[in-house]
């Protein structure tokens, strides 16, 4: 039997671009075995798709609330979504 997999769509607001948020998110996701992607959006937010074991995804969401050292996170909006069966984690 396969372990459970959850997926979350995430939008992070604040000073989150130009502070290595995406690269750090990729490292954090890889460390936890979370698949998905992260990208900068034109409105200044960072959007991400995380999927993997529930606790690993929860840990990555907790990390997003602080982000990397030079980020200032104002808010993290999280939506439950259906897993897509993604493998690996990419910066878009």
Annotated catalytic sites, by residue? 22, 40
67: Cα within 13 Å, side-chain hemisphere = 26
Question: 83 exposed, middle or buried (CB, 10 Å; 0-12, 13-18, 19+)?
Answer: middle
Going by C-alpha positions, the residue among 36, 25, 28, 34 that lies closest to residue 86 is 36
Per-residue tokens: 48? 């991400």
Determine the Cα–Cα distance for residues 15 and 55; give it in Å rounded to an integer: 27
């Amino acid at each position: 039997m396969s372990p459970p997999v959850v997926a979350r769509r995430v939008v992070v607001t604040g000073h989150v671009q130009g502070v290595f948020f995406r690269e750090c998110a990729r490292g954090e996701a890889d460390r936890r075995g979370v698949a998905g992607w992260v990208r900068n959006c034109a409105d200044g937010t960072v959007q991400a798709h995380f999927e993997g074991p529930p606790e690993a995804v929860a840990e990555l969401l907790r990390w997003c609330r602080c982000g990397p050292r030079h980020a200032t996170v104002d808010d993290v909006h999280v939506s439950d979504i259906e897993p897509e069966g993604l493998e690996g984690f990419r910066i878009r």
